[in-house]
Structure 1
Amino acid sequence: MKAFIILFTLVAVLTGCTSPKMASIYQTQGVEIAQNAAGDDILNKYSKTIPIQNPHSSLSLCIAQELNNGPVVLTNESYFGSPWWYSYNIPNQQSITINGGQTIKLVEGNHVVANAVTDYQYNAKYFVSYTLTATRHQNNIDYLFSNIKQAQQYTGSTVNDGFENVKTLQRSHPDLVIDALNKEINKIQTCLLK
């Protein structure tokens, strides 16, 4: 009986550590799922087409103004707190800086290719890096995000491995990654209409 209780507890703990896939991400329009080398489902690409009439600014100018490809500092400091009470960090020795670079990679005809980083908050801050290919047509703009990766700013006692593919697991927050990418589109669209 004691062995059964230990086995049951072990299975419960291991099962509690797994995270189910987020079913809704497979239904999200414009999301392309692929598999990484380990066989995990990941966000491969995300595309969206937005209608636009008579933009006041150029696409390349708005991408350069609104997107950011600055350096990102990731650490394994411990983060405590929440939006409702005091929070603080406990410094640790390990931190890495992921260098940014030039945002615009290529402008060719109606196509603009850019690298950028954005972020979102879910109990801690997460950074999302991506490559954007934006194509201007007469009445719309196609936005294609590829090379989508994310990293948690603070990882506590765990080593911070930097940017990794976004898995379709609930604990990886693929829905919040898509929301963050949509906010990038909204910034560009707003700029185009100013």
Structure 2
Amino acid sequence: MRKLIALFVALMLTSCASQKMASIYQMEGIEITKNSSDVDILNKYRTSRVITTIHSSLSLCIAQELDNTPVVLTSENHFGSHWWFSNNIPNQQAITVNSGESIKLIEGNSIVANAITDYHYYSKYFVSYTLTATRDKNNIHYLFSNIKQAQQYTGSVVNDGFESVKTLQSAHPNLVIEALNKEVDKIQACLLQ
């Protein structure tokens, strides 16, 4: 009986950990490539938004709306005493990821910026990226590259920091894309103010 239960648990963990998110392959604007371990990852994400009336400059809105402040990633327990008996587990590891200025380059109608955003899925995740925003007559084209994510708290597991976003369901690439779209929404709202 124990062997049967152990086999069932192993099969469940294996199937959950290795199942690709099929919908991410159908999303418009997503470029998928393989990492050095031959695993599919999000390489780039492109989206465009129509804009006819602009009240603020694109560079001003990117500088104002995007955040590139340092983040702290730890392997401490964050759930609280009702889940774990010991709420005061000492930090096993803490990583501070230093950032810098958001805007890296302004050339013609294009702006390149580095930033970090976040989303929540039982825990807080940070998403770092490079954005290239280009304006033409009626559109702003957004290209996200160098997309990586990191979980803020990993509990007793060592926090490996920022890593490429895998297309596995357990990596929730759909939430990463949703977080990037929210960044675009903030810039677009700023442009209309």
**Normalising by the residue count of structure 2, what TM-score does the alignment of the two structures yield?**
0.91
1: CA distance between counterparts of 2:61 and 2:89? 39
Query: Structure 1 residue 17 and structure 2 residue 16: aligned?
Result: no
In the TM superposition, what is the alpha-carbon distance from 1:13 to its structure 2 partner? 2.5
CA distance in structure 2 between the aligned counterparts of 1:170 and 1:79, rounded to whole angstroms = 23
1:58-90 superposed Cα distances (whole Å, 9 cap, x missing partner):
111100000011101000011216xxxxxx674
Residue aligning to 1:179: 178
Q: Provide the rounded CA distance (Å) in 2 between the counterparts of 1:74 and 1:135.
A: 32
Name the structure 2 match of 1:103.
102
Contact 1:49 1:140 in 2 (8 A): yes
Cα 1:21–1:71 change in 2 (3 A) is same
**What is the CA–CA distance in structure 1 between the aligned matches of 2:178 and 2:101, rounded to whole Å?**
24
SS at match of 1:53: coil
Output the amino acid matched with 1:167. K
Pair 1:138–1:89, CA change in 2 (3 A): farther
| Superposition deviation, residue 188 in structure 1 | 0.2
- 1:137-168, CA deviations, whole angstroms, 9 ceiling, x for partnerless residues? 00000000000000000000111010000001
One-letter amino acid of the counterpart of residue 13, structure 2: C
* TM-aligned CA deviation for residue 93 of structure 1: 3.4
Aligned to 2:167: 168
The change in CA–CA distance for 1:89 and 1:125 in structure 2 (over 3 A counts) is farther
The percentage of aligned residue pairs carrying the same residue is 66
**Cα distance, 1:17–1:89 mapped onto 2, change above 3 Å:** farther
What is the match of residue 83 of structure 2? none
Structure 1: any 5+ residue segments left out of the alignment? Answer: 82-87
Matches within 5 A, 1:32-181: 32-80=31-79, 90-181=89-180
CA RMSD, aligned part only? 1.5
Q: Distance in 2 between matches of 1:89 and 1:33?
A: 41
| Matched residue SS, 1:79 | coil
Q: Which residue of 1 aligns with 2:84?
A: none
The separation in 2 between residues aligned to 1:22 and 1:11, in whole angstroms, is 24
Given that residues 149 and 166 in structure 1 are in contact (C-alpha distance below 8 angstroms), is that contact kept between their aligned partners in structure 2? yes
State how far apart, in whole Å, the 1-side matches of 2:92 and 2:34 are: 34
Equivalent position of 1:85 in the other structure? none
Unmatched 5+ stretches in structure 2 = 81-86
The one-character-per-residue Cα deviations of 1:101-123 (angstroms, maximum 9, x if unpaired) are 01000000000000000000010
Moved over 3 A (4+): 8-11, 88-91
